[in-house]
């Protein structure tokens, strides 16, 4: 998995400085995020000595594992020219579905399959509304955000569903060596999506659909078929996040832990270089965006910043991400 899209304007055979080689290899957006992470981490570490401890850094990775899975899938949706605002609600619906399946079958594997399947079906529902109903993706997923969350509350009567199966709960609390299982799942998801988007015809077609839908259609790419698959895949990723949420909290949560997940995922994707107009975005950029958000959240907590200030900071970060995305797009169009 490479960390940036190939530069179309790079002149072959032209000598490049070491700095230029680094930028071309890493990508300007990714390099900027890395520098932002270093700067943010340095500032926080000067405010609190607990930030750079191995335990806290691992806590950050664990805290962003669910967000990372959703943000990666959200990046694919955005690259295709769409948007999925319902991801957090799908995660909540999958969470309660997982808890109910584990309780009924007493089988961890059945709960995992059930949660991911519910997520995929919910995502497929989004895709059908968008393709068959010809509804704008923002409107469609805004509607299902409310519908899926309401369904999760109806199924559970508004209460959390406890899970007592130790084998299932160990997914959220267990570790391989010193790495928590949810972090390992995030790594595997990132690798899988990275290979899909970078090295397969499916990934290249998704970029083509987002960059120029008309040209993609003329090239024989089935736009509706791809959109159905993309939204089903996004739903499955949100369902997987819901499974991990259930395992971590040992209960199915209709909203707690998943509410607002979609906005943070969009922020991470856009910070990572995904263009809301479609056609641009990388998995590595999304992961870096996720860790910027995770580091900010962790630092604010360690510095005892009140919760409402944290909400303001997240909102401003989303505005900054969108403005930055528009600036990048305008600059590339002008050049």
Q: Per the confidence metrics, is the pTM higher than 0.85?
A: yes
Instruction: Give whichever of 33-37, 183-187, 311-315 has the largest mean pLDDT.
Output: 183-187
317: confidence class by pLDDT, cuts 50, 70, 90: confident
pLDDT at 103 over 90: yes
Does residue 213 form part of some domain? yes
What's the pLDDT at 232? 98
What's the CATH code of the domain at 313?
Answer: 1.10.3470
- What is the spatial distance between Cα 274 and Cα 268, in angstroms, rounded to a whole number? 9
Q: For residue 108, what are the domain limits?
A: 32-330
Does residue 9 form part of some domain? no
335: confidence class by pLDDT, cuts 50, 70, 90: low
Instruction: For 217-253, write each residue's pLDDT tens digit.
Output: 999 999 999 999 999 999 999 999 999 999 999 999 8
Does residue 187 form part of some domain? yes
Does residue 335 form part of some domain? no
In total, how many domains does the chain have?
Answer: 1
Instruction: For 8-29, write each residue's pLDDT tens digit.
Output: 444 444 566 766 676 666 677 7
Report H helices in the chain. 18-26, 28-47, 54-63, 65-79, 87-105, 108-131, 137-156, 166-173, 181-199, 201-211, 213-218, 223-249, 261-271, 283-302, 307-334
pLDDT at 7 over 50: no
- The overall average pLDDT reported for the chain is 88
Does residue 20 form part of some domain? no
329: confidence class by pLDDT, cuts 50, 70, 90: low
What's the pLDDT at 330? 61
Does residue 156 form part of some domain? yes
Q: Where in the chain does DSSP place strands (E)?
A: 161-162, 175-176, 179-180, 251-252
Does residue 285 form part of some domain? yes
Does residue 25 form part of some domain? no
């Amino acid at each position: 998995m490479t960390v940036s899209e190939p530069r179309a304007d790079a002149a072959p055979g032209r000598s490049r400085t070491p700095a230029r080689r680094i930028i071309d290899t890493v990508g300007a957006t990714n390099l900027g995020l890395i520098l932002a992470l270093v700067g943010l981490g340095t500032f926080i570490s000067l405010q609190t000595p607990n930030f750079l401890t191995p335990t806290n850094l691992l806590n950050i990775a664990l805290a962003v594992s669910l967000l990372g899975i959703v943000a990666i899938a959200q990046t694919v949706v955005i690259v295709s020219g769409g948007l999925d605002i319902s991801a957090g609600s799908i995660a909540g619906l999958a969470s309660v579905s997982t808890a109910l399946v584990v309780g009924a079958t007493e089988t961890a594997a059945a709960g995992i399959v059930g949660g991911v399947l519910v997520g995929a079906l919910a995502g497929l529902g989004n895709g059908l509304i968008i393709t068959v109903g010809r509804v704008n993706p923002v409107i469609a997923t805004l509607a299902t955000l409310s519908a899926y969350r309401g369904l999760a509350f109806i199924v559970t009567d508004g209460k959390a569903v406890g899970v007592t199966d130790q084998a299932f709960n160990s997914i959220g609390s267990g570790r391989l060596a010193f790495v928590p299982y949810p972090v390992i799942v995030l790594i595997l998801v990132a690798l899988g999506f990275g290979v899909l988007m970078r090295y397969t015809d499916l990934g290249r077609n998704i970029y083509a659909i987002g960059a120029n839908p008309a040209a993609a259609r003329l090239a024989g790419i089935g736009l509706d078929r791809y959109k159905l698959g993309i939204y089903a895949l996004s739903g499955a990723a949100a369902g997987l996040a819901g499974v991990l949420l259930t395992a971590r909290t040992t209960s199915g949560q209709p909203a707690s832990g998943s509410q607002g997940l979609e906005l943070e995922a969009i922020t991470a994707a856009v910070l990572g270089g995904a263009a809301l107009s479609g056609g641009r975005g990388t998995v590595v950029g999304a992961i870096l965006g996720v860790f910027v958000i995770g580091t900010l959240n962790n630092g604010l907590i360690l510095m005892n910043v009140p919760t409402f200030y944290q909400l303001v900071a997240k909102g401003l970060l989303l505005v900054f991400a969108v403005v930055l995305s528009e600036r990048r797009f305008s600059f590339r169009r002008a050049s």
